Chains A and B, each alone.
Chain A
Amino acid sequence: MAEEKKPLKVTIDNITIEVEQGTTILNAARRIGGDVAPPAMCYYSKLKNSGGKCRTCLVEVEAGSTVDPRPMPKLVASCRTNVMDGMIVKNITSEKVIDARNGVVEFLLINHPLDCPICDQAGECDLQNLSYDHGKEGTRYEFNRRTFEKYDLGPFIQLHMTRCIMCFRCVYTADQLTEKRVHGILDRGDHVEIATYIQKSLDHDFIGNVIDVCPVGALTDKTFRFKNRVWFLNPVDAHRDCPKCKGKATLWYRGDEVFRVTARKDQWGEVEDWICNECRFETKKTSDWIIEGPTKIDRHSVIAQGHYVGVQKPQEVLYDVLGGRKPKLLMNIHNVSEVNEPGRDLSKIEGPAHSTDFENE
């Protein structure tokens, strides 16, 4: 069976690459990288059987293989289609694909609320990025959007079913990381929803990873809820000795406070190593972690804003100018400002802050 191991030649957007047998078009395109890789909302390379739900990764196959060079009649989901030798694929060079993707985004946004100003996922949301690239400004949908009550899945995770786009990633995560899944898909068609049927809490050591795999803001970290916008935080790579997981995580700092802990994500927005709930929710002190250095953020991401690289703090010349005398009118902003007060640590509040947390000043 030596010939089965023969690498296959595939051409995607006029770039030819050799891949192993059994590779999907999406993974072959990711090997090339850059804009050639189709976007994926439901496919997750770390989750078995994921993909084939969202249809954003549709590509045009111009020639099936060298043996049978007929084009495929319809656009195919690249995450579910394996490459053949001599296959010619068009992704961003095909107008049909771009047009279809625009349509898919319109479908995904039919029931998705545009509450990005409130949503904690904004700034790192796959759907937000996708609709910025492919979405239309207006909507053609005239009916009421489907809405659900938000509810808590345990003490750490909040479910906003209204925002869900049914990618099934969280279900696969629960299936493949935990022994017994307690949430899943209920109903079908327009009534489909992610739920626990009877409001159960998700309490497995690794269930917090559903937050990271969620491409939208449907599953969010309750301990981080409304605390800050992600683009005002500074992500820092850190690790700790964890008996349950590898302990490699990203800490999101604001000043000296750790606002949240997430798993590290690779360039496709996928988790590198799953982290346990203890690392994610219960160790939010710098002393718990060994800091490795700032996380590399793509400069096109909004999270990269305000990260000034190579800044040198200018030397303080005031004392020299004043002959060693201290300035009389130096204003400490914390004496005046009520935002980010030294005595009030938002990261230590369990859930979101409320008006009661700001009262006793």
Chain B
Amino acid sequence: MKRGQPMANQQQPAGVTWLEGRTLRCWGAWTMPDVAPVERALRGMVWPARSVLVFEASGIEAFDTGGAVVLYRALMEARRQGCEVSIEGLRSDYAQLMSLVSSNWAAMVAEVAPRSNGSERLKTAIGNHLVRMIRGLEFLGESATALVRLVAAPRRMRWRSCLNSLRLDGVNALPITGLLTFLIGVVIAYQGAEQLRKFGTNIFIVDLVGISLLREIAPLIAAILIAGRSGSAYAAQIGTMKVTEELDALQTFGLSPIELLVLPRVLALVVALPLLTAYADVLGVFGGMLIASNQLNVSFSAFLSRFEEAVALRHMLIGLGKAPFFAVIIALVGCYQGFQIRGGVDDVGRHTTISVVQSIFLVIIFDAICSILLNWWSL
């Protein structure tokens, strides 16, 4: 066995040689890293049909379970092809390893039924989808009833956790949201400037930047950022609490996780996202204004006076009005995915990703529906 000689590096790697056609001499170190070449040679070996073979194993200098498995596999393969095989000269302690393999051989080669076939997998996939949809509805319903209970008894609201969430998800998101919408304002103005200059209609930069930012882009950018920043955090926080059984602990105290964890977060986002959107509006328009004065000679004062007449108040109100709905979508999806986490650590990562993708998806769908409906009502 290899541990017999801790310092021995002078062992030959494993090998096999045929002697007189019927005797296979095995030699060298049959240990796990070194047995690989011989394993390949033995697997490709064509055994002489219906003959009596001898594995002459006295040349094996080191042996471990890996070597034993390889030797036993070769033995079984030769027997399967109709040969009569015996092993000679194997050291007694190595022979014990061989008997260890042979006594476990049945379990080792046992056919393991594959998990399921195609149609079954399809069935379970459809079933899982249905279950997930039902669970989603269930979660929505529970949240709604918890909200109703809360409205009936507002003193049960967890203001502290709500304010904490407001700070983490609102205040701390100000720099990144501001910077991004500022840059988006700059980009839109640059792209527009090129076209507007051609027609000499420089002043319309105000309409372009103002309406697109206030009505669509600022709310969307803020929502997408918050989905990535806070929605994922909700899923990971609640999921980790689930894995560490904190949610179960809450329930044994008769506390509702939805009331304790979900509602404060939803409420905090419903407050924070419109405020963030308003802030994004200001910085985005400011970015556009800078480029307008720089590239199109539209001064700040000209920009602002045109802004007053060109951009109707409803554009801003529509933009701000969508924000709370976005907030509800993001918070609910994040929390819901958190509750869906079952297994261990990789489940947390998976559901965190799902929460971000799903909430951005739903936000954009909702936005598109809004656009269609508002167009219908010609707003």
A binds B: no
Task: Please give the residue numbers on chain B whose beta carbons come within 8 Å of chain A beta carbons, in ascending order.
Answer: none
Task: Please give the residue numbers on chain A whose beta carbons come within 8 Å of chain B beta carbons, in ascending order.
Answer: none
